[in-house]
Chains A and B, each alone.
Chain A
Amino acid sequence: GEDVEQSLFLSVREGDSSVINCTYTDSSSTYLYWYKQEPGAGLQLLTYIFSNMDMKQDQRLTVLLNKKDKHLSLRIADTQTGDSAIYFCAEFYYGQNFVFGPGTRLSVLP
């Protein structure tokens, strides 16, 4: 079945760039997403990319999609302490439900 994988932990220093990686198995995915979850809260949609795109940039966030390797990454420039959270990668394809990765816990060190 479908599977989405992520590394579980990432630590960076404040001001550095963070890169969170994700791999997925279903090549028929139409959209790929990044969600952010802060402690005790729901998931907040950060950004998403259509499967026929390679890159999307939105302020400090850059999403890169490598369809050949089924690899998705989220780069956060100038990482701040407020970026500390769990980041979930997810894929969606028409007629099916969302599939989420296990989440990457980002810790931003002062």
Chain B
Amino acid sequence: EADIYQTPRYLVIGTGKKITLECSQTMGHDKMYWYQQDPGMELHLIHYSYGVNSTEKGDLSSESTVSRIRTEHFPLTLESARPSHTSQYLCASISESNEKLFFGSGTQLSVL
């Protein structure tokens, strides 16, 4: 099964704070993704990476940034959180060999 981890699981912060959502996978996958999802709603791709030092913006415009310095680590950063950033953030990775997209448990972010 998948070994992809997200921390924190839940986060409540005040407006203007800088935060980093962590995502790590131990499967050696090259492709990793960040999705934003409001409760029970569609998934929106906000960032993806095809490997180390590769990052791209997704379909949904986002004020967040990402980095990919190591294969296993794909953190997402919000420089100045706003209430409109309140959402669930899902990290995922895929193995090219079996074409399965695995998801982490998500981070539920609430910005007050």
Contacts and interface: CB of A to CB of B under 8 A. Distances in A.
A97 B48 contact: yes
B101 A33 contact: yes
A97 B34 CA distance: 12
Interface in B28-67: 33, 39-43, 45, 48, 58
Contacts of B6: 42
Interface class of chain B by DSSP = strand
Given A41-B106, A42-B106, A97-B48, A90 B101 contact: yes
B101 A103 contact: no
Interface stretch (A17-25, A43-51, A61-69, A70-78): A43-51
Nearest to A86: B40
Nearest to B96: A94
A103 B105 contact: no
Contacts of A39: 39
A73 B104 CA distance: 25
A86 B108 CA distance: 17
Contacts of A88: 43
Q: How large is the interface on B (under 10, 10 to 19, 20 to 34, 35 or more residues)?
A: 20 to 34
Interface residues of A, number: 23
A97 B45 contact: yes
Contacts of A90: 101
Interface string B78-112: 00000000001010101000011111111010000
Interface of B: 2, 6, 33, 39-43, 45, 48, 58, 88, 90, 92, 94, 99-106, 108
Interface of A: 30-31, 33, 35, 39-45, 48, 86, 88, 90, 92, 97-98, 100-103, 105
22 contacts: A31-B99, A35-B103, A40-B88, A40-B108, A41-B106, A42-B6, A42-B103, A42-B104, A43-B103, A45-B2, A45-B101, A86-B40, A97-B33, A97-B45, A98-B94, A98-B101, A100-B43, A101-B42, A102-B42, A103-B40, A103-B42, A105-B40
